Chains A and B, each alone.
Chain A
Amino acid sequence: MTSGSASYFDGVTSARHDVVVELGPGALHIRAHDGTMIGEWPYAELEHLAAPADVLRLGRARSPVLARLEVRDPALAAAIDERAHTVDRSGAGERRMRVRAIGWTFGATISLVLVAVFGLPALSDRIAPLIPLSVEHKLGLAVDAQVRAMLNPGGAARPFECGEGEAGRPGRAALDRLVGRLERAAALPIPLRIAVVRRREANAIALPGGHIYVFQGLVERARSADELAGVLAHEIGHVAHRDGTRSVLQSAGLSFLFGMLLGDFTGGGVVVIAAKTVVQSAYSREVEASADRYAVALMGRIGGDARALAAILQRIAGPGEPGIRILLDHPQAKDRAAAIDAAAAAAAAVTPQPLLAPAEWAALKRICG
């Protein structure tokens, strides 16, 4: 029978016992040097524990007492390894388990990414219509405060919103007339609140709860009331589709998925941000296209020129729009313009009439003074 010396800790006190280990037919026999039997550990119950490379550390599986046997003698360790299948000195079993664990983590990663790409948009599409308008209104107020704080550089002598003072009043009246026509045709469940604000960029944004901000830069670059109306109709499309609420739901879901479940490693932050950006722009490309289709239909209903939206889009984008396409919120202006023109051509039955009289349009152009 093979035997050798080892260190033994009984799991009750910290005293170390120098013992002799004998390899019996079905179990390890642990004896003190004077021959007294200390313990008998069946091979099937041995547990191989973490230890330095030159030590074989054994415990008893499922035992509440943490008795430990430490073998430094390589020959004895090899003999135990041969008899007990739970002892895995080569690490082959550990590697197998590890490969399985890695396989499962890959599976989990892929599943979570699929949830982010397909599950979340589907979920937010279903949930957004169920959210009561009163809640959307509150959400709008909260988002509105933040967006205003972000947009408004502050410190300027004039108010942030155009059309407040005496000089802007005719412009404001013209805007209200234009918005009124669009709003009646759109028949939205919530009232619109549209303002022109002093920002250089040619842009407009829609928030949850019916807030639409048109930037001064856009009004300046619009060449007709129809162009401005086209952009407004596009933003009204966002309100009608409740895109603001959907995007709040989606970004909350994405933050949870990527921020909490995944990406808690160094450098993970940017992966999370990149993943969110890519996934969100993929959502919003579809969202923008559908708002464009809404705008074409709405412009058709009020007898405006739906092609004007395509014209202003292309003018704002300028030739050869730079940047990386998948990271752009809006699909490329050229593609969008082509889609809008095609939809407008299919819908156009009557010749469009200008939406505002020349004098009114001139007043609207001067809304920011």
Chain B
Amino acid sequence: MIAAQSFRFRPGLPMNRDQASAAASAGPAASAGAAVRFVGEPRAYWRLLVRGAVLLALTLGIYRFWFATDLRRFLWSNTEIAGNTLEYSGTALELVIGFLIAIALLVPVYVGFFVLALNLGPAGQFVSVLGFPVLAFLGHFAVYRARRYRLSRTIYRGLRCHQTGSAWRYAVCALFWWTLILLTFGLAYPFAQARLERYKMRHTYYGDLGGRFEGSGLRLFLRGLPMWFMVVGPLLVAVAVAVSIDWGAVIAAGRQAESAADFAARLEGASSFFALMVIAIAAVGASLVAAALLFPVFQAMVLRWWISGIRFGGLSLRSRLRTGQVYAAYLRFLWYGLLLLLALAALGVVTFLGFGLVSGATGQSELTEIMGAAAAVGLYVAAMLGFSTLYQGTVKLALWRCGMESAEIEGAAVLAHVRAAGTSSSAVGEGLADALNVGGI
């Protein structure tokens, strides 16, 4: 769900597509199915990812502004819609400045929490509970403003996109819907998505061509319901089983018991207790397995639903994304991940054997300890950045590419008459999203 989420917040893609393909540029409105292509070399993208990962590690993350800008430039400019590619015109410096402004805005908020916590004395620990909704609210606010920045830096055929609407209103709506999602164990998710996407797309423009979203929450709900039962159903069984156990007797027996056999002897109906525990654990396991297996299906379903709901004036999109494509991307990620894991394990063994030899020869010196600790941290960072790089190079790139290429466009004729509108907006939203750790690419 996280990945689907960040993909969807990513660009606010101007899915507008123009009629004429390069070959038929003289023709008026093209028929249905003008092409969206992704023309980027995966090799070039991998190069950006690997260089970025190394520099992120060396600069403790400060390089992220340049990294994000590079990735966006690559993805945007290699997405070709009816013979013309998108252009990302944002710069890393804008992101740095946006981030610094966001920090300046957030510091008083954090200091306020700190002082409040201090003034309340023992009750101060509840301030963090209070702080969570405030930060969640700011997070949604930032997501909306960040989308505005990205849209206004997205240029297609000499016209920029832009976004209107109030980030405050969006944040209130989003907070309400996410609360509902939590309270309904995810059942409200389709309706929340439809509602929030409608708000976003209603305020999204390519030039003066306004967008809207027509995906139906009910349809997504009905399609997703079987999956929800497969994942949440076993969990409900587990909860029901756990509730039916007489925990008072179990705890009492556990207190007095000296050994496992003694525990079984003391507990009345021990065999039924063990049977119930096995059922509960199996149910939880089944739920986890179902969630892992169904996640790509879910992601493909939501992506298809989202793309198919996008409209710009008389233009409409339709996605033919196949679930198998998403599965293939995840399998590739798992395969590469396994190779990385083996490589890291080998590297780790060699490193620590080396340290063992050195410290065995010279005794435990402070220097070898420091170097050992540094090597452990370095290996961990290499692993985390490595997996993140693999994920971005396989799953995220595939979702972008397949999402784009599976899209078909109807009524692209409207794109011939779009006029410029909107201005560029600041990157403070991006900075806030970054500082609050809610940013996507």
Contacts and interface: CB of A to CB of B under 8 A. Distances in A.
Interface in A47-73: 49-53, 55, 57, 65-68, 70
A326 B88 CA distance: 47
Interface string B33-66: 0000001110010000000000111111111101
A142 B383 contact: no
Nearest to A66: B158
Nearest to A148: B122
Interface in A212-259: 252, 256, 258
Contacts of B160: 66
15 contacts: A7-B84, A53-B41, A57-B77, A66-B159, A67-B158, A68-B155, A68-B157, A101-B66, A105-B59, A109-B59, A252-B114, A264-B435, A266-B387, A270-B384, A326-B369
Interface string B415-434: 11111100000000000001
B415 A14 contact: yes
B61 A263 contact: yes
Contacts of B119: 138
A70 B87 CA distance: 12
Contacts of B84: 7, 16, 70
Contact of B157 (A16, A52, A146): A16
Contact count band on A: 35 or more
Given A138-B118, A145-B122, A261-B103, A52 B80 contact: yes
Most buried by A among B59, B118, B377: B59
A112 B157 CA distance: 43
Interface string A266-279: 11101100110010
Contacts of B155: 66, 68
Nearest to A269: B384
A98 interface: yes
Interface string B80-93: 10001101110010
Interface of A: 7, 9-16, 18, 49-53, 55, 57, 65-68, 70, 98, 101-102, 105-106, 108-109, 112-113, 135, 138-139, 141-142, 144-146, 252, 256, 258, 260-268, 270-271, 274-275, 278, 324-327
B159 A14 contact: yes
A274 B375 CA distance: 12
Contact count band on B: 35 or more
B369 A66 contact: no
Contacts of B157: 9, 14, 16, 68
Interface in B103-134: 103, 106-107, 110, 114, 117-122, 124-125
B372 interface: yes
Nearest to B418: A14
Given A65-B420, A264-B437, A324 B372 contact: yes
B158 A270 contact: no
Contacts of A260: 103, 106, 435
Contacts of A12: 158, 419-420
A265 B377 contact: no
A16 B24 CA distance: 12
